[in-house]
Structure 1
Amino acid sequence: MLKSHTEEKFVQAILYFAHSTQALGKIKLFKLLFLLDFEHFRQTGRSVTGLEYRAWRMGPVPAALVQQWDQLEEGLRDAIRIVPEQVITYWREKVVPLQPFDASHFSKRELRLLEAIAQEYRETLSDAMIDMTHAENGAWAKTWQEGAGNDRVIEYRLAVPDDASDRDAVLDAADLYAGIAAAQRR
């Protein structure tokens, strides 16, 4: 079965983080994907992976990945393995790559962003990343609203600060990308 370009980027982004960071468990992976997608959207008006994120108590969660975590779909199942790993008092669901990363699916900007995020969080454990994804006035916090937004979709538009000098241009680009995607689905 052929994967769409977006699905392939989703799998390849996971492979990149699996190859380029340490202690990559489920929570850390969720946070890295969120940072990748929302930072890329802030810069360009579109995400990298096309994932939809929901506001949960522990932070932003990529809904489609959560749904398949225990039973990975074919493309992801061929790319990674989830291995239980005991870490002192708990078990981490470690992501182990089964394939090499293929950079051909990404733009130069996307590759730079993957590299920067992986480098910044290479040795960081998931608990230490919570502050980054729970930042006051960040997209998760604006959606979560002290629990009132539980399980709501975190809108990508929230990644673009109200006072950003390029806010209108980024949001116009987002509308353009959304229009193109809608036309392609028809």
Structure 2
Amino acid sequence: MKKTLLISHNREKLLNALVYFSKSTRFCGKTKLFKLLYFLDFIHFRETGRSITGLNYYAWDKGPVPQDLFHELKQPDTDLKETIALLEQSEDEDYRLCRVIAKKPFDPKYFSRREKKIMEELSFVFKDALAKDMVEITHLSGTPWDKTMKEKGPGKRIDYSLAVDGSKGSLSLEEIKERMSEIKEVTEIFGDQ
């Protein structure tokens, strides 16, 4: 990610989501964090037609991965370094946890009530979950990751529109396309605020 003087609203949301999940769940390593962000973005997209963090996710063997964040964690930008730390912990020879530690308090001002509610629900459901259990959930048949692996293959970007499933609270594909078009138009005019 590029270093900028002004931090975008999506970036602030991402940084604060990292803090929130690292503080509100146990066993929060990189893999678990990636799955929580994926659920956060795809649930919100299904309900509103837009993601929260602005991340793109890719179909890797262990499930959906926000590839840009994955790479940035190896050489974090200043704002990320000031927000979280990674602590390597070894449980045994077969399992290593790279624990995510928040360095700042969570700032809820960047999130809507809907966004905070989704974060709270995810933290409640996955509070004590291990990353391997969350990987299994993302691999279930019919999930966006599963559809991407079957239709495009590994390493390909997972289309957010695959989150639209006709369930209660889900927008229709037409509503999603209309909202995405509006978001694109506003972004072209005003940039990422």
Using the size of structure 2 for normalisation, the TM-score is 0.89
C-alpha distance after superposition, 1:97-130 (max 9, x if no partner) = 1000000000000000010001100000000111
| Aligned counterpart in structure 2 of residue 7 of structure 1, from 11, 22, 29 | 11
Aligned-partner SS, 1:94? strand
Equivalent in the alignment of 2:117: 112
Task: Please say which of residues 15-24 and 149-158 is displaced more in the overlay.
Answer: 149-158
Residue 125 (structure 1) aligned with residue 130 (structure 2): yes
Residue 174 (structure 1) aligned with residue 177 (structure 2): no
Alpha-carbon shift at residue 162 of structure 1 (Å): 5.7
Structure 2 CA distance for aligned equivalents of residues 182 and 143 of structure 1? 28
Preserved CA contact (<8 Å) 1:31 1:60: yes
Preserved CA contact (<8 Å) 2:58 2:158: yes
Preserved CA contact (<8 Å) 2:161 2:176: no
Unaligned runs of 5+ in 2: none
How many residues of Structure 1 are paired with residues of Structure 2 in the alignment?
Answer: 185
Preserved CA contact (<8 Å) 1:44 1:174: no
Equivalent in the alignment of 1:46: 50
1:131-150 pair list within 5 angstroms: 131-145=136-150, 148-150=152-154
Task: Please say which of residues 171-180 and 109-118 is displaced more in the overlay.
Answer: 171-180
Aligned-partner SS, 2:68? helix
Equivalent in the alignment of 1:25: 29
Aligned-partner SS, 1:175? helix
Tell me which amino acid in the other structure corresponds to 1:27.
T
% identical equivalent positions: 36
Preserved CA contact (<8 Å) 2:84 2:103: yes
Alpha-carbon shift at residue 88 of structure 1 (Å): 2.7
Alpha-carbon shift at residue 153 of structure 1 (Å): 0.8
| Aligned counterpart in structure 1 of residue 71 of structure 2, from 67, 72, 77 | 67
Shift in CA distance, 145/91, structure 1 to aligned 2, threshold 3 Å: same
Preserved CA contact (<8 Å) 1:43 1:170: no
Preserved CA contact (<8 Å) 2:87 2:98: yes
Task: Please say which of residues 134-143 and 5-14 is displaced more in the overlay.
Answer: 134-143
Runs of 4+ in 1 over 4 A off after TM superposition: 162-165
C-alpha distance after superposition, 1:112-171 (max 9, x if no partner) = 00100011000000001112212211111111118x521111111111026777313233
Structure 1 CA distance for aligned equivalents of residues 44 and 100 of structure 2? 23
Structure 2 CA distance for aligned equivalents of residues 163 and 78 of structure 1? 39
